[in-house]
Amino acid sequence: MTMPARPQRNWPLWIGVIAFLVAMTVWSAYGIGFSLVEILCNIAGGTRLLEESWPPDFGFLPRLAEPMLETVFIAIIGTVVGGILAIPMAVLAARNLSPDKFTWFADRNFMNILRTLPDLFWAMLFATAVGFGPVAGALALTVFTVAVISKLWSESLESIDMGLPEAIRAVGGNWFQMIQFGAIPQAMQHYVSYALYAFELNIRASVVLGLVGAGGIGMILETQRANFEYERVTMIILAVLVAVLVIEEISESIRKRLT
Amino acid sequence: MSNNLSHAELLKRPGNRIGFGTIATFVIAALFFVSLFAIGFTPERMLEVPGGVAEVLSFFWPADMAYGWERVLPAIIESIQIAWIGTIIAAILSLPLALFGARTLFPRLARVVKLISATARAFPEILLAIYFVPIVGLGAFAGALAIGISSVGMLTKLGAEVVDSLDFGTVEAVEAAGGSRILALRWAVLPAVLPEIIAHWLFRFELNIRASAVLGVVGAGGVGGVLLNTLRYRHFDKAAAVLILTILVVLAIDTVSGEIRRKIIRG
């Protein structure tokens, strides 16, 4: 019996890849000052912090209700406005639906650039432009939501069955009618589930917006952190975790029912 | 079969009754307006927005690129290093967890692992960093730890899903030939799932670059602190340099990483 040939490895490629990974890791570790000595020296301070941060200050809980609600409001505004704006952006970024190559190219790359900046960068920019507070947070999440939904949904739109839109064009429908009746209904379920996903992301994001002064529960977190009131920080983080998990559970059950 | 529907009835549009969609739209609209009112986003406030944005933007140009090369680029490199170490930590921790979290391999253990990963996922990195900064000291290392721990959750979940979707023929073949569970993992499961899991690692690295960019806000290193400071002192030309360089670097890394991911998945 002859054995089948052993699969040959491309050794030069393997060695190259592994050398790159190791070099990158060593360089990064050196760059960020990864040192066990430092951890061991600091561990005493760390345990003191952990002792201070437990038990959480439950007396602080009532004061969290209002900012937590504000956090949810910011996320709702960001998701609704961003979700609506994302519809045209996604249609124009879908290769099969975009009216011409130039629009497609411009929109797609504009969205790619929007997506490179993290949500907190937008929050910092809007907080500078329109002043500290929840309005800046809502605007930041709007931009972030447009970027997230338009990216995901334009991919769904690219995978629809083009027979229906073509039929509408063939019987004399214009471009808008083709999009409205031929394309969007096919991808509507994806849109709803992406919008809910964006809402979940926004709830998480809106929690930390306050760290840069853009409203919500993060603003309280920032003041308590700056004053080293760690038993209150723990309380805030616990409250945030519970709220995030509950909202995600609701959102996920809606998403499951829709699909 | 009755066929006495009139023409008008046949042509009636199906969407014209009050259904779930209509109710949902009204609920969302109501929530939206309540939210606008609650945070004080009045029409006058909305009219101020374009002016404020335009004013800030007008100070952005010309960007202070000298500051960019001198101060911003090192901070961006530090962000990349934070993201890299964080991803490596998460990859090493999540690989065994992903295998143990697979329902098909370890039905009972999987439930515990899923619970752990769900909890880890619930923490935004920046909240973890708030704890790590006092523990390991101000700086990039705290950021890398925060990124690592919070990535473990998502990578474990995605990895376990990859293993769950695996065809179990090869596992059974190894066991039928007398191999143990561990041998089956090594020779049947790992080679099949690794390409997809590595693609998830790369994707998480792309996400972590963005996450590490904001960690500077709480003093955990990287470019976020630089942006916060330039905006705080209203040095908009310097802030513009931060934005331009961040966009360019992140775009470059996304492109390269996306290309590698596609290559790996195609095999």
At residue B220, the 3 state secondary structure works out as coil
- Over residues B7-26, the mean pLDDT reads 68
Contact A119 B214 (CB under 8 A): yes
What is the C-alpha separation between B217 and B219, in angstroms, rounded? 6
What pLDDT, on the 0 to 100 scale, is given for residue A104? 92
Chain B partners within 8 Å of A70 (Cβ):
38-39
What pLDDT, on the 0 to 100 scale, is given for residue A79? 94
Q: Considering CB atoms only, which of A39, A43, A208 is closest to B126?
A: A208
Element (H, E) at A149: helix A134-158
Q: Model confidence over A24-42: pLDDT tens digits?
A: 988 888 888 766 666 666 6
- Over residues B132-157, the mean pLDDT reads 84
Chain A partners within 8 Å of B31 (Cβ):
76
What is the C-alpha separation between B263 and B202, in angstroms, rounded? 12
A43: pLDDT confidence band, cut at 50, 70 and 90?
A: low
What is the C-alpha separation between B122 and B119, in angstroms, rounded? 5
CA distances for A73 relative to B30, B40, B45, B169, angstroms: 12, 11, 16, 50
At residue A181, the 3 state secondary structure works out as helix
What is the C-alpha separation between A110 and A210, in angstroms, rounded? 27
What pLDDT, on the 0 to 100 scale, is given for residue A36? 62
Q: Considering CB atoms only, which of B143, B218, B250 is closest to A211?
A: B218
Which residue of chain A comes nearest to B215, CA vs CA?
Answer: A120
What pLDDT, on the 0 to 100 scale, is given for residue B104? 78
* Whole-complex ipTM: 0.81
Contact A49 B134 (CB under 8 A): yes
Q: What is the largest CA-CA distance in chain A?
A: 79
Q: Model confidence over A198-208: pLDDT tens digits?
A: 998 898 888 88
What is the C-alpha separation between A182 and B87, in angstroms, rounded? 42
Instruction: Decide if B244 contacts B236 (C-beta within 8 A).
Output: no
What is the C-alpha separation between A133 and A149, in angstroms, rounded? 25
B1: pLDDT confidence band, cut at 50, 70 and 90?
A: very low
The CATH class for the domain spanning A59-258 reads: mainly alpha
Chain B partners within 8 Å of A28 (Cβ):
80-82, 84-85
CA distance A240 to chain B (A): 9
Statement: residue B14 has pLDDT above 70: no
Q: Model confidence over B96-120: pLDDT tens digits?
A: 888 888 887 788 888 888 888 887 7
What is the C-alpha separation between B156 and B106, in angstroms, rounded? 14
Q: Considering CB atoms only, which of A125, A212, A237 is closest to B217?
A: A212
- CATH code: domain B65-266 is 1.10.3720.10
Q: What's the mean pLDDT when you consider all of chain A? A: 86
CA distance B177 to chain A (A): 17
Which residue of chain A comes nearest to B243, CA vs CA?
Answer: A117
Statement: residue B8 has pLDDT above 70: no
List the single best residue of A32, A145, A227 to mutate versus B (max B Cβ within 10 A): A32
What pLDDT, on the 0 to 100 scale, is given for residue A38? 65
Statement: residue B210 has pLDDT above 60: yes
Return the structure tokens found at A56.
């959480």
Contact A74 B35 (CB under 8 A): yes
Helix, strand, coil shares of chain A, percent, nearest 5, are: 80, 0, 20
Length of chain B: 267
Statement: residue A257 has pLDDT above 90: no
Q: What are the boundaries of each domain within chain B?
A: 7-54, 65-266
The set of residues, in sequence order, having a beta carbon less than 8 Å from that of B264 and lying 6+ positions away, is B195, B198, B199, B202
Instruction: Decide if B64 contacts B240 (C-beta within 8 A).
Output: yes
Q: Considering CB atoms only, which of B143, B221, B247 is closest to A113?
A: B247
Q: What are the boundaries of each domain within chain A?
A: 14-48, 59-258
